[in-house]
């Protein structure tokens, strides 16, 4: 009875480990391929995923997080309190909150501020430079992995490492199965020898 429960537990743990390794491999392949294909951040169902590598929006958006942003729509629609992602003069993407909206003729300008900053950003943001709106979805620490995936070394490691782990685990499982067969065959041959001697 105990052996039966032990075998079921081993099978369950084995299945769980295999499933986790396969999910990890699939996730790493998705992140790496979608990052390379979109020439930047991963994209899924119309949402782009951006890495946050500064603490200007803490505590809502932690350093090293991934955030989901929606790139479509009218970029003149934002109002005070909305969080937008925009391109600054140095062509860096920044995600800050709209502090004030100014209209100059046909142009809309946004004054922006990081929640963790003491003052508004020095330059107002033209609506043409707004890339997306932050949708309130964030995953802490995953941004470090995505940022690492941008590098050649990171891409290689994130694709190869889960595969190696999966192969290693498969080899271990096969070795255990062979060992159990050998033990079973040895015990069966001992029983056969005992019967012959009788």
Q: How many CA atoms lie within 13 A of 75 on its CB side?
A: 20
Which is catalytic among the residues 4, 51, 54, 151? 54
Structure tokens at 38: 């979109």
> Across the chain, how many H-helices and E-strands are there?
3, 8
Sign (positive or negative) of CA dihedral 176, 182, 184, 186: negative
Residue 54 annotated to the active site:
yes
Cα angle: 110, vertex 113, 117; to 5 degrees: 165
100 to each of 55, 69, 80, 112, 118, how far by Cα in Å? Answer: 21, 20, 5, 7, 15
Helices 2-37 and 142-149, interaxial angle, to 10°?
A: 60
Q: Identify the residue whose tokens are 């190696």.
A: 164
Residues acting as catalytic residues: 54
């Amino acid at each position: 009875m105990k052996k039966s429960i032990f075998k079921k537990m081993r099978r369950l743990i084995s299945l769980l480990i295999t499933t986790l390794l396969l999910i990890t491999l699939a996730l790493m392949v998705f992140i790496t391929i979608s990052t390379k294909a979109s020439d930047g951040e991963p994209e899924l169902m119309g949402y782009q995923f951006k890495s946050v590598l500064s603490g200007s929006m803490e505590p809502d958006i932690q350093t090293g997080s991934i955030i989901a942003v929606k790139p479509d729509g009218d970029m003149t629609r934002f109002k005070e309190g909305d969080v937008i992602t925009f391109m600054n003069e140095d062509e860096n993407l920044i995600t800050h909150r709209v502090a004030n909206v100014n209209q100059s003729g046909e142009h809309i300008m946004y004054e922006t501020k990081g929640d963790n900053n003491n003052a508004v950003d020095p330059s107002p943001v033209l609506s043409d430079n707004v890339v997306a709106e932050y949708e309130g979805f964030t995953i802490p620490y995953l941004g470090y992995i995505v940022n690492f995936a941008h590098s050649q070394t990171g891409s290689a490691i994130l694709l190869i490492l889960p595969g190696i782990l999966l192969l290693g685990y498969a080899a271990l499982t096969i070795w255990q199965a062979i060992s159990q067969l050998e033990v079973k065959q040895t015990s069966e041959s001992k029983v056969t020898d005992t019967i012959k001697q009788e």
